């Protein structure tokens, strides 16, 4: 496994975090009705979490001598004011992020950088918790 492949996978994760920042900020502004009371703060919390995750990944890419992506993942962000659609899109995004970080952890095992592995593992676990939270909110 090359450093270039590792950096490419990290940039994939970074692109998803940048997309999540945009999507959750958009949903926080657009959620309507009684659900706004609970969901706007949740979406804003997800923005803050994604900023931290993006920063961690960005620092890791630089540590490896790579060049950081500056564009978000190109997956469309669905515009809606329907909270159920927002939650379904959030669940899909969190599931994809968890998958990408799981794949990244497998690559990191090879390079034997325990600090970097631990940092990415913490992000992975946060994504898995978000998947479960979004799933429960949809029930």
8 Å CB contact between 54 and 21: yes
| pLDDT at site 1 | 66
| pLDDT at site 96 | 98
Report, as an integer, the average pLDDT of 6-11: 97
How many domains does the chain fold into? 1
Report, as an integer, the average pLDDT of 69-90: 96
Q: What is the dihedral of CA 60, 48, 72, 102, to 10 degrees?
A: 50
| CATH assignment at residue 43 | 1.20.1260.10
pTM equals 0.95
Least confident of 76-80, 96-100, 113-117: 113-117
72: enclosing H helix or E strand: none
DSSP state of 33: G
pLDDT tens figures, 23-47: 999 999 999 999 999 999 999 999 9
| pLDDT at site 59 | 97
Select from 17, 21, 46, 25 the least CA-distant residue to 104.
17
| pLDDT at site 111 | 86
CA dihedral sign of residues 12, 59, 94, 115: positive
Q: What is the dihedral of CA 5, 128, 136, 50, to 10 degrees?
A: -70
8 Å CB contact between 9 and 62: no
pLDDT tens figures, 108-135: 988 888 999 999 999 999 999 999 999 9
Q: Which domain holds residue 57?
A: 3-138
């Amino acid at each position: 496994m090359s450093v270039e492949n590792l950096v490419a996978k990290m940039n994939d994760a970074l692109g998803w975090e940048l997309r999540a920042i945009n999507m959750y900020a958009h949903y926080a502004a657009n959620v309507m009705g009684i659900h706004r009371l609970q969901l706007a703060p949740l979406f804003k919390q997800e923005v803050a979490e994604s900023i931290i995750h993006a920063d961690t990944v960005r620092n890791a890419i630089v540590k490896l001598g790579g060049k950081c992506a500056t564009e978000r993942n190109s997956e469309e962000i669905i515009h809606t004011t329907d909270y159920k659609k927002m939650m379904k899109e959030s669940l899909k995004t969190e599931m994809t992020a968890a998958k990408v970080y799981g794949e990244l952890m497998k690559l990191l095992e090879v390079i034997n950088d325990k600090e970097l592995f631990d940092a990415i593992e913490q992000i992975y676990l946060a994504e898995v918790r978000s998947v479960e939270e979004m799933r429960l909110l949809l029930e």
